[in-house]
Amino acid sequence: MFVAGALAVAVLAVGARVSTAIGAQSLALVWPASGASLLWLLASRGPRARVTSLLASTVVIGLAMAVTGAGGPLALIVAGASGLQLAGCFLLLRRLTPSLLGVGGSAGLHDLRSLVGFLGALLVGTLAGALAASGLIEVLVPDEPAGSGLGDWWGRHFAGAVIVGAVGHLGWEWLRDHRRGGVDAAAGRPERSTRPTSTYARWPEVAALVAVTAAAYGFVFAYAEAQLAFALVSVAVWAGARLPTTWAGLLSASCGVVACAFTLAGLGPFAGLDTLQLNALVTQAFVITVVLTTLAVAVGRDERLALLAELAEANRDKDARIELLDAVTEAMDEGIAVVDADGRVVRSNRAARTVIRSDIYRPDGSRLEEHERPSFRARREGRVVLQDIAIAAADGSRRILSLRAVPLSQGATGGEAQAALVVSRDVTDERVAQDRLSEFAEVAAHDLRTPLTATRGWVEQAADLVQDLAPGPARDGLAHALGRAERTADRMGDLISDLLASAGKATLEPEEVALGGPDGLLTQIGRELRCEPYLDLDPGLPALHADRDLTHQLFTNLVSNAVKYVAPGVQPRVEVSGSVHGGRAVLRVADNGIGVPEDQREQIFDRLHRAPSSAGAYVGTGLGLSICRDVVERHGGSIRCEPRPGGGTVFVVELAAA
């Protein structure tokens, strides 16, 4: 590598001095040694090897200047400025393109950022070398006749760095990838799988491109005026758009060499300009324009191909995920369906298609209207937790399904959702088992209440007998013990009632349930709980479409809790209000009790859970609110706990309105 690099720099430096000088002066058109020394430095591995290559390149350029007739001072200045230029280019490349091959990574010039960074480093580095060389030559070698100006130095060094450096870097990358088996440096994948053949020119087009390029350059440089020379950029665009980047760069570099050769021979549109400096400047501008145009177009195509490859990979990944999701959903026992705003089923699995093809009824046998279906309600109201429906199976049997639905996407105005996801599950066997459990619970409750009632009777009789005893510690102790036994029996009775309610009944029997008014359900509950003085009912309470027994249990638990959980000495106050929104009744049960801590407002609906603030001071089983949630969710509604301004709690219940 060291010998090859030194030899390349020496040959190109001597060749530039000998073959690219205009006339008898030292005004060279290009200085390809700038690009060769940069590639030598980039190919060196490790800081020590790079320093050695930098110093060796400087020495080789100085010797090349000396053997081609340059004086000692001029050779030293050119060598020193070339070393400064090379170091500046490399340091800027490390700063601007750290992932570039030879700088610290493995990427090539296949994206606009890398290309601009590479050219920017060459531009600034060669400009620094030009400033140093032109200044020192003007001071130390004032008799140098030509080629020593700032523009002269910068033009030939930048042109040489672009032609040899950029195109050589592409060739270096192509050789590396070719040895690895055709890896696409732009996309990091095998070239054949990511770059379609149709993207590049086929051999007939390549032959036509080469022929047209040769004819165009021959015509322009043999016969045409300078004004037509830059029309050759169109050929560069064709090459950049249709050839692989490396080959497009080589073709444009070859065209630049042809342009320099014609100019040196005194032919072409750039040979007859007023001064040698102008000849050199225009030729260099032409060469740089052609090469950069070709590279810019080719790099743009590479970026597009890389994006297309990423898009294709993303589509393959998406298709694989969709296929996996379809396989998973088809294997599920739960039905999954996506229903749009028009009620059409957009997507469904095997279990859901059974439901879609069936007529849907309420568990009581009445037909479920369109606006009552979970998919419709989810788009209007948000998440529908649970709702039981009935369908007729293919074998004629009646199946009970539990449905839940969620809105999928909101419209642009933030209004009604555009689709809903409906999940269904066959709960027929569960409901049958729940019916049996309810029957067992009723029998067990009856059997447990019979001895409990007898025990309470004996305790009351014993308490009456204790009152006949003479006052004293013995009577007081017996009275206290019997009082505790009576309270324990009451608590046992409450626990049996809650367990019976928790078992519930499997089949709902919805009907119109009036809440307010003299004969309303809440008025009845107030009389049963003997809390009518504390109960304030909104006269406009809406009626519900629900199971009367379960609704009775729901509001009995809510009202009794509101009356029970108040601070000592505070008279309870329970306010029940409600309104109808989109076919749903929203009821609010507000109290002036001790309240529920914020971190407990979800947990209080769990079975056997009691808030720490009430667990020790108030008697309870921890089942009341879990029963409330079960009742509400069985009806396809929801319940939540909120704080009441000024103290207390508000339970918000949403159920179907009558």
Q: Do 29 and 116 fall into the same domain?
A: yes
Give the DSSP per-residue string, 422-445: EEEEE-HHHHHHHHHHHHHHHHHH
- Give the end of a domain, one of 507, 539, 563: 507
More confident residue, 387 or 521: 521
Mean pLDDT of the chain: 81
**Position 441 pLDDT exceeds 80:** no
Classify 145 as helix, strand or coil: coil
Tally of CA atoms within 13 A in the half-sphere of 427 that contains its CB = 19
pLDDT, tens digit (0-9, with 9 covering 90-100), for 289-303:
999 999 999 999 888
Is 409 found in the same domain as 460? no
Written as one letter, the residue type at 78 is V
The verdict on 503 and 614 lying in the same domain is no
Same-domain status, 515 and 473: no
Domain end position, chosen among 404, 426, 448: 426
The Cα 543–Cα 524 span in angstroms is 15
CATH of the domain at 52: 1.10.1760
Q: CATH number of the domain that 466 lies in? A: 1.10.287
In a domain, 312, yes or no: no
Domain end residue (candidates: 135, 151, 180): 180
Residues 550 and 644 in one domain: yes
Q: Is residue 473 part of a domain?
A: yes
Q: Are residues 145 and 215 in the same domain?
A: no
Shared-domain flag, residues 396 and 457: no
Highest mean predicted confidence (pLDDT) among 212-216, 280-284, 367-371: 212-216
Q: How confident is the model at residue 192 (pLDDT cuts 50, 70, 90)?
A: very low
Predicted pLDDT of residue 599: 82
Residues 496 and 520 in one domain: no
Distance spanning both ends of the chain, measured CA to CA: 90
Q: Could you tell me if 484 and 601 lie in one domain? A: no
Does position 238 have pLDDT exceeding 80, yes or no? yes
Q: Residue 198: its pLDDT value, please?
A: 47
Domains: count for the chain:
5
* Interatomic CA distance for residues 447 and 169, integer angstroms: 94
Least confident of 216-230, 440-454, 497-511, 582-596: 497-511
Per-residue confidence (pLDDT) for residue 274, from 0 to 100: 67
CATH number at residue 388: 3.30.450.20
pLDDT at 26: 52
What percent of the chain is modeled with pLDDT above 70?
Answer: 84
d(CA 628, CA 526): 18
Question: What pTM did the predictor assign?
Answer: 0.56
Q: What is the rounded distance in angstroms from the CA atom of residue 561 to the CA atom of residue 539?
A: 22
pLDDT single digits (tens) 87-144 = 999 999 999 999 999 998 888 888 889 999 999 999 999 999 989 988 888 888 776 5
The two tokens of residue 368 are 């479920």
- 137 found inside a domain: yes
Instruction: Determine, yes or no, domain membership for 318.
Output: no
Question: Is residue 605 included in any domain, yes or no?
Answer: yes
pLDDT of residue 306: 86
Contact at 8 Å (CB) between 413 and 382? Answer: no
Q: Are residues 475 and 556 in the same domain?
A: no
CATH code (residue 517) = 3.30.565.10
pLDDT higher than threshold 80 for residue 345: yes
> Pick from 657, 656, 606, 607: which is nearest to 636 by CA?
656
Query: Do both 625 and 644 map to the same domain?
Result: yes
Question: Measured between alpha carbons, how far is 148 from 134 in angstroms, rounded to an integer?
Answer: 6
DSSP secondary structure string, 332-367? -SSEEEEEETTS-EEEE-HHHHHHHTS-EE-TTSPB
Report residue 196's pLDDT band, with 50, 70 and 90 as the boundaries: very low
What is the span of the domain harbouring residue 273?
Answer: 191-302
